[in-house]
A and B are shown apart, each in its own frame.
Chain A
């Protein structure tokens, strides 16, 4: 569930536009198959690694597998990856708000809010973050479904034609973007040691992925049938535009605030989780006793980097569309795969279970 919200939070706003640029009218088919498989691969690897090194995180067993010399840098790199991801998330958030709702507020202030609340949640630990998710998820799903149902009257299925008009290639090409997002489920490599009931994680991970895929498909699908492919691609936040589009009678209008609420809750959970994981990772690399100190150090860093001007809202879209997928997939899929292979070759296990 935590994962679901985490991925959905950002994916819901950005991806429709990005995929639409690549795949045109067939965009809604994109998130279905290939990314789910990639995501499942990640889950599978995370579980396999966890089976071998139960109770340890990637940073810890990375050292075991590769030795201190290579393991530490790998851990650092992985943390750096998470950190960039984290900063991007925060920046996405601020970008969204400065574009849509609070154009006059400095980005620094916007970042400050999310960093503070996220940091506060991270300080409380993983259990609290998990519970928070449990609390907001129903609201998230409900408001999503509500919105979808409200725009349906405006749908025009004609926008979907021609089906597969450009062939299959554009779809495959644009798959990479959601795949990297799905790959975020790979943070499981850090989370798993803290899961109480380890059995069924694989199944749950898969269900999560499926749910994400369904919702994302629905998201893109609906955006497309309401706006059409070209318009979707031209929007930065198609889903938000979708919400603004809703107007039923005089009473139900301006639903976009609902979306903002969904978005904020999702982002806060996501930021909290990343902050927690990064701090945990750093404390494990450095061998600190508590991760809390790192959270305090992390907060100003996030704040400053999140305000870094080069990542303007426009650039952000491009980064997310073009560079991020490869970068992300490398860490999400390749690194765990590599570790797993080395561990397999060296036949390493922990706990002596054979």
Chain B
């Protein structure tokens, strides 16, 4: 009931949205004419007022020269390649045809592709709208007089960012390459890691204006077919005017409309993506976004960092425990402090209570207000720090850290305890590897502080229980969000709170990769070499 209301508020109901939706004007099929002038004029009209579109007319070298033109978008193509590999052979080198093959208007398309063009990627199309789309993607179209089809050559170029170390997920020991905005580059990074034909890469076009390439990758035979189909189906259902980042797709294909928790994971790291694919998950790449989506996601995956797998297993386990503690601190610490000091003083050990009471003597606000105030201040600082131009960022940290923290205490507005609590909470929050999960925790933290302010420990517990109920009800592409803890799958616990050594992780997570559960041979654990000579 509430859900419906909420959905209605967010505009989920489609009533009253019957206006014309955005589309690219030319959706109908318009076959190319055999008259080159007609085609040229039609295309010029389509690309009217687009200075980046280049039309280049020339004659194809033949006994009876054939009129032709190429059309491409200058900034999106490799100009040198077009002149060297496309135009030069057409205008000069047709004489090198084998005996018996003659170039004429009627067979030009075939002969040119077979003998003349040096371009790796060509295909023919006969539809003007499709031609326009191909050109917009950065292809070059070759239109010949007398043919009702055109040759599309893929001579794409233009500026793309170089493969770089991922900013959001740095590692100490591990590969340093990260995804970039170009989906082609990203696929190359992935394919380099998974040299198997079982890695399937399927493309979808989403967005009426952006026509963004959305690529679905999975390892056939490992990934659950149901999940793969579900992902594909949900992507093909998406109908937006624009897709400018992977979050557009994420929100459209997520399971639950209203939740704080990320039901799809994202990453900038190709190695992480490859590892997920091998586990039987599905990756969704969005062109023009370096963030690749990984589905299904579970709660524990949000606490795993790539680094875990490149470090000593015991160390990684310790770090994971630490992260789990950090999660708890970030979530409940301020709320617990509020509850303790405003309701349950009896629960605080006496010595601590006296210290705290002494520190809080003469302060104007109750601890609830104090903590809320400090938390808000911190959130402000953080937001300002993120949005500020880098050069001024220093100022913010100085002003925030020193002035507000230090001065507020000396001025007797807040107690040092709440400053410590807020600082600790903030640090703990940063220790959560997944940023989206961190934001969920941030919101919940405020809710819990308020609950603690009203109902003490009971409020916190009730808040946590409600969160637990919510988490239990979540599913990510059919996989329960809290798995493998609830429902319990003991084998999969090897990679949750602990990170077992690689030789002991013989099976894939049951819920992702049920089809081919065995990962590797058992008993590969390192053992001391047989000491033959006794020793």
Spell out A's residues near B (CB within 8 Å).
Answer: 97, 101-102, 105, 109-110, 113-114, 116-117, 120-121, 124-125, 128-129, 131-136, 250-251, 253-254, 256-257, 260-261, 264-265, 268, 272, 296
Contact = CB atoms under 8 A, between A and B. Distances in A.
A124 B461 contact: no
Of A97, A114, A117, A133, which is in contact with the most chain B CB atoms at under 10 Å from its CB? A117
A277 B150 CA distance: 68
Contacts of A132: 465, 468-469, 472, 486
Contact of B465 (A101, A131, A254, A264): A264
B457 interface: yes
B466 interface: yes
B455 to A, nearest CB: 7
B486 A135 contact: yes
Please name the 5 residue pairs, one residue from A and one from B, whose CB atoms are nearest each other, closest first.
A134-B486, A131-B486, A131-B472, A124-B473, A121-B469
Interface residues of B, number: 27
6 contacts: A101-B458, A113-B459, A120-B469, A134-B485, A135-B485, A251-B349
A244 to B, nearest CB: 9
B104 to A, nearest CB: 71
Contacts of B459: 113
Contacts of A135: 468, 472, 482, 485-486
A201 to B, nearest CB: 17
Given A135-B486, A260-B461, A264-B462, 11 more contacts: A101-B458, A117-B466, A121-B465, A124-B469, A124-B473, A132-B468, A134-B488, A250-B351, A251-B349, A257-B344, A268-B462
Contacts of A110: 458
Given A101-B458, A102-B458, A265-B465, A253 B472 contact: no
B462 A117 contact: yes
Contacts of B154: none
Contact of A131 (B343, B344, B455, B480): B480
A254 B347 contact: yes
B89 interface: no
Interface string B423-467: 000000000000000000000000000000001111101100110
B487 interface: yes
B351 A265 contact: no
Q: Main SS of the interface on chain A?
A: helix
Given A131-B480, A250-B349, A257-B344, A101 B457 contact: yes
A296 B1 contact: yes
Contacts of B348: 254
A133 B485 CA distance: 11
Nearest to A260: B457
A294 B61 CA distance: 82
Contacts of B465: 117, 121, 132, 264-265, 268
B346 interface: yes
Interface in B1-19: 1
Contacts of A128: 469, 472-473
B455 A109 contact: yes
B461 A254 contact: no
Contacts of A272: 469
A105 B462 CA distance: 15
Contacts of B458: 97, 101-102, 110, 113, 260, 264
A101 B457 CA distance: 9
Interface in B163-198: none
A320 to B, nearest CB: 22
A133 B469 CA distance: 10
B462 A114 contact: yes
A100 to B, nearest CB: 10
A217 B348 CA distance: 31
A260 B459 CA distance: 12
A131 B456 CA distance: 26
Interface in B379-405: none
Given A134-B485, A136-B468, A257 B473 contact: no
A66 B343 CA distance: 54
Interface in B486-518: 486-488
Contact of B349 (A101, A253, A261): A253
Nearest to A272: B469
Of B456, B472, B487, which is in contact with the most chain A CB atoms at under 10 Å from its CB? B472
Given A128-B469, A131-B486, A254 B480 contact: no
Nearest to A122: B469
Nearest to A124: B473
Nearest to B462: A113
A105 B455 contact: yes
Contacts of A101: 343-344, 456-458
